[in-house]
Amino acid sequence: MLVFFASSYLSDRIIELPNRYKIVGLCGVICMIKEREQAFSTIRDAIATGVRDFLVAFRHDWANETMYGFLLEAVWEGTSVEAVAGTEEGLLRIAQYYAASEGQEDEELINYQGIELRWGSPEDGWYANYDADFFKRANQLLAEAHETGLMELGDQQLQQLCLEVLRQLDGAGVFGSGKTRQKIVIGVCDVGGDNTEKDFLEWAEAVNPPIVMERLRRELQEANEVYARSLAD
């Protein structure tokens, strides 16, 4: 029942609205929900298109490399999204680079570098093309959603939209199938906020099969152990 409270000079009575106002109010709520869902659907489509375009460029630029990770980078405020991809070959290149910068290029050090860097930061050896327009349309729509009040800063709505897109694309086989898919972790990386390992794992668990999550947890544990060992040395 939709009601409003009269002021004290009306004895603080609760006055019930006529049915026609109830219907108008309900219709307004329904229209707002439909508008919100339509806007989010359009944003999801734009993100999905951006992912597909990104992967085309990735496979051209880093042809024949073995992808082990694909992440949508969602700005913490929820105002923009980009994508990055990690490959075994790219990981080896950055591990060798850091080992060489320390004046040591033995296999053991390169191996330790690779373990620590695998999930350390997309800035370290991952494929990214921030100058491209893969997500230009999606980011325009996100800006509009914030301007109109459909989204709020830091409300985590973008992260949820990204997960829905990844789930949809994965179901369509965009990240491969069978053993090929099992080699790839897909997920969301929070940029500019308090992105904890717990958040990262929860988002990854929402879009990856158990066998992939088992490997991801093992790799993160190994990286933590290598890091702890480096502090002790």
At 38-78, the pLDDT tens digits run: 999 999 999 999 999 999 999 999 999 999 999 999 999 99
User: pTM for this one?
Assistant: 0.84
CA distance 81 to 50: 9
CA distance 221 to 227: 10
What pLDDT, on the 0 to 100 scale, is given for residue 5?
Answer: 29
Residue 15 pLDDT level (bands cut at 50, 70, 90): very low
What pLDDT, on the 0 to 100 scale, is given for residue 10?
Answer: 36
**DSSP at 6:** P
Q: Give the pLDDT mean for 18-29.
A: 52
Q: Is 128:55 a contact under the CB 8 Å cutoff?
A: no
Q: Give the pLDDT mean for 109-138.
A: 94
Supply the mean pLDDT for the chain. Answer: 87
Q: Which residues pair with 5 in a beta bridge?
A: 14
Summarize the chain as % helix, strand, coil (round to 5). 60, 15, 30
- Torsion region of 70: left, alpha or beta (phi above 0 gives left; psi -120 to 50 gives alpha): beta
Residue 212 pLDDT level (bands cut at 50, 70, 90): very high
